[in-house]
Amino acid sequence: MSSTPTRETARRAFAVEFNDMGYTFKESEEEMAPNYALMPTGERANRVFLVGTLTETEDVGDDAEYWRGRVVDPTGTFFVYAGQYQPDPAAVLRDVEPPEYVAVVGKPGTYETDDGTVNVSVRPESISVVDAATRDRWVAETAERTIERVRAFNEEGNEYAAMAREEYGDNVDRYRREVISALESLDDTEPEPEPEPEPSA
Amino acid sequence: MASDLRTHAEEIHEQFSDHVDVEVDDVHERLESLVEDYRVPVDEARRSVTNHYLDESDLEREEMAAGAGNEHVEAAEIDEPEQWVDLTAKVVELWEARSDAVAQVGLLGDETGTVKFTAWAKSDPPTLEEGAVYELGNLVTDEYEGRFSVKINSTSTVREVDREMEVGDDSVEIEGALVAVQSGSGLIKRCPEEDCTRVLDNGRCSEHGDVEGEFDLRIKGVVDDGHEVHEVILDREATEELTDTSLAEAKDMAMDALDTEVVAEEMKADVLGWYYRVRGPTFRRYVLAETIERLDGPVDTESTLVKARSI
């Protein structure tokens, strides 16, 4: 009941769901009202947190630098774009040598291509280099959050699920199946090999 | 929803049935109008309707409460404002009252935790002694910025009891990813005036003006688990431990770079995006980190898998 503006929660979604969340909306007419992307499993996202493997970076800008990073999770690829207004994340994309595990905090953004498809990307607030254990923890956490949303999808009064059903349809089972294979992929992961001992001189 | 309102209506009705001639349906109608037509949250609607009948019945709140028989609560349970409660607690600390309207202000505690108390001067309350344990009757709870307190009012009873009491801590434990490091983190300067530890903004203290600040380290961070967002404050000790950087080293870094910001930048690169478990008491909207540990062990995915397969 307090009117203190609260910070938006960073939602967890696998790439396969994130890239489907092309519908955006505002909750009020006010100029500064936050933008939300609608998640197909029935939640609104103003901010996301993701951890994956940065596989490729490229400066796709014309005049000014505009960096694109591909961040891969067990289900697909997140596209992360950082330019002059995101100087710290842009510097990370410029400096890091892929592949590397990265954690990204950012805002979902959409743009429409010439052929009318809506692409969803991440405008980062921060990008940082993390490790394999953190990435695995994120996969487990994101699986749990996704399953929670799928379970609540048919609950009465779930406002964003109703909205999602209208915008995207009600096939949330594909996200459930992706969760299962993502978790199974964790179990397959061999422990990281010990570094080769330095040859003694 | 509808049946919840009915329950609320029946409870309110019961509260007033001896004093006011009113039907449950009337109470229900008032509640329903507020909740459904005016989109008022149920708690607020309930308070508003209760107040309406209080006015109508000319009942003093105090009378109502005294008659109702209060719940005897523990400090950590207090999570709702405007409740009439009894509490047995030790006076942990007395603070300086900032206003003449306040007779005493301080911290009460029992085995479960602590809660702030205020005794109003106009209710002429007995003076509480630090370290003593009291049975306090007829207190009213209050809330400010998410922190709950109790007020000693003119109907409250205060009885000292001869017993020892261990005061528990009301620490919380949270887990999540550190998704932001806020401004005011890293190498900061604090006001050196006695009892003033305000963080300086461009060499200025908001209370004492331009002062020669004293260096300190801290991190104001945001821990987010995908459900809830917690702001955490790490003091110098916790910051030094987490970042493996001492205050002296941080000063050297800033000196070399001719910029104090470099310390916060370095810390951000070290801590952002990792998962942590933080433990400590809460203050306003902050968790004051007493311990913070990085979560880098293996994770258990079994229960999520079972859930996913059973849908």
The predicted pLDDT at position B69 comes to: 66
Compute the average pLDDT of residues A84-89.
Answer: 95
Q: Cβ contact (<8 Å) for B304 and A102? A: no
Let me know if residue A25 belongs to a domain: yes
| CA distances to B213, B268, B303 from B256, in Å | 19, 19, 50
Let me know if residue A3 belongs to a domain: no
Q: Cβ contact (<8 Å) for A133 and B272? A: no
Which residues in chain A touch residue B285, judged by CB atoms under 8 angstroms apart?
A: 4
Q: Of the candidates A1, A128, A186, which has its C-beta nearest B41's C-beta?
A: A1
- pLDDT of residue A71 exceeding 90, the answer is yes
Between A72 and B18, the higher pLDDT residue: A72
Let me know if residue A101 belongs to a domain: yes
Q: Of the candidates A11, A134, A151, which has its C-beta nearest B274's C-beta?
A: A134
DSSP secondary structure code for residue B76 in this structure: G
Compute the average pLDDT of residues B186-199.
Answer: 87
Let me know if residue A151 belongs to a domain: yes
Cβ–Cβ contact B131 with A under 8 A: no
- CATH number reported for the structural domain that contains residue A118 in this entry: 2.40.50.140
Confirm if B275 and B298 have CB atoms less than 8 A apart. Answer: no
Task: Give per-residue burial for A47-84: e unless 16+ CB within 10 Å, then b.
Answer: bbbbbbbbeebeeeeeeebbbbbbbebbbbbbbbbbbe
User: What's the gap in Å between the CA of A184 and the closest CA on chain B?
Assistant: 8
Tokens matching residue B175: 């887990």
Which residues in chain A touch residue B295, judged by CB atoms under 8 angstroms apart?
A: 137
- pLDDT of residue A195 exceeding 60, the answer is no
Confirm if A93 and B237 have CB atoms less than 8 A apart. Answer: no
Q: Which domain holds residue A15?
A: 10-187
Q: pLDDT tens-digit profile of A2-31?
A: 445 589 999 999 999 999 999 999 999 988
Confirm if A131 and A15 have CB atoms less than 8 A apart. Answer: no
Q: Cβ contact (<8 Å) for B229 and A7? A: yes
Question: Which chain A residue lies closest to B146 (C-alpha atoms)?
Answer: A2
- Rounded CA gap, A18 and A142, in Å? 12
The predicted pLDDT at position B194 comes to: 77
Return the SS3 of B193: coil
Let me know if residue A2 belongs to a domain: no
Let me know if residue A201 belongs to a domain: no
Which residues in chain B touch residue A147, judged by CB atoms under 8 angstroms apart?
A: 304, 307-308, 311
Domains of chain A: total: 1
- pLDDT of residue A188 exceeding 80, the answer is no
- pLDDT of residue B141 exceeding 50, the answer is yes
What does pLDDT average to over chain B? 87
- Strand B71-73 to strand B84-95: parallel, antiparallel, or no bridges (unpaired)? parallel
Let me know if residue A30 belongs to a domain: yes
Confirm if A53 and A101 have CB atoms less than 8 A apart. Answer: yes
Compute the average pLDDT of residues A177-195.
Answer: 76
User: What's the gap in Å between the CA of B175 and the closest CA on chain A?
Assistant: 11
- Rounded CA gap, B67 and B88, in Å? 20
Let me know if residue A193 belongs to a domain: no
pTM of the model: 0.69
Tokens matching residue A157: 């009064």
- pLDDT of residue B1 exceeding 80, the answer is no
Compute the average pLDDT of residues B296-309.
Answer: 91
Cβ–Cβ contact B183 with A under 8 A: no
Compute the average pLDDT of residues B81-107.
Answer: 88
The predicted pLDDT at position B196 comes to: 79
Q: pLDDT tens-digit profile of A131-154?
A: 999 999 999 999 999 999 999 999
- Rounded CA gap, B175 and B296, in Å? 12
Q: Cβ contact (<8 Å) for A140 and B304? A: yes
- Rounded CA gap, B46 and B40, in Å? 9
- pLDDT of residue A90 exceeding 90, the answer is yes
pLDDT band at A179 (very low <50, low <70, confident <90, very high): very high
